[in-house]
Structure formats: C-alpha cells, structure tokens
Amino acid sequence: MTYYWDVLKNHYVDFKGCATRKTYWLFVLFNFIVFFILSVILSFFGDAGDILYFLCTFAVLLPSLAILVRRLHDTNRSGWWVLISLLPFIGTLILLIFLVLPSTEGENRFAN
C-alpha cells in the first residue's frame, strides 16, 4: 500500500527518473483493487456514483501515465514508447513485454 501512496503523494506527475518493476506492478495492483471496490460502492449511488467514479479515474490518470513512463525509463526506453499501445493488440502486447522486463543493469540514460 505504501507504493500506491508514494506514487500519489510524492510522484504525482513526475515523469523523470525510473520506477522499478515492483513499484510499477504494485501500483497497478492496488489501483485495480481500489477502483474495483470503488465501483461496487458507487454503483449504489446511480448517476452521482458514475460522476464520482469518473472524477476519481481522472485524478489517477496522470500518476498512472507518469509511473508507466518511469517504468519504461527503468528499462532504458523513452516514454514515447507508450504511443505503441495505439496499435491494436500488437502494440499493447509489446508494451506489456517492456513492462515485465527486468531493469537495466548499470548505467541508464534516464537515471537521476
């Protein structure tokens, strides 16, 4: 849980530096759990719940994109590789492979 709050509090729109594989995937896991629980709770509120869910999703959009870019930096790739996900299926698959690869050993051009 500390990984989730660390990203939201200390690295909200921080696109510089690197994020380890563990940091990235724990953020994704907790984000999934939080939004699953949020969707169940807010489903009882009708349209007001839909609006709140949209606002929460929008609030986490930039930190999610920032940690994704920092994870790509950790594998010594530019953040522009995110755009490969615009290719149907194959782009998303390539991006997923990049995200599960181990960190770059030694010097990294994106490290602080």
pLDDT band at 3 (very low <50, low <70, confident <90, very high): confident
DSSP code, position 111: -
**Stated pTM of the model:** 0.89
Q: Tell me how far CA of residue 43 lies from CA of 39, 59, 73, 80, 91, in angstroms.
A: 6, 19, 37, 36, 33
What residue ranges do the domains of the chain occupy?
Answer: 2-100
Q: Which amino acid is at 71?
A: R
pLDDT at residue 107 is higher than 90: no
pLDDT per position as a tens digit, 53-85: 999 999 999 999 999 999 999 999 999 999 999
Q: How many CB atoms neighbour CB 91 within 10 A?
A: 15
Confidence at 35, pLDDT banded by 50, 70, 90: very high
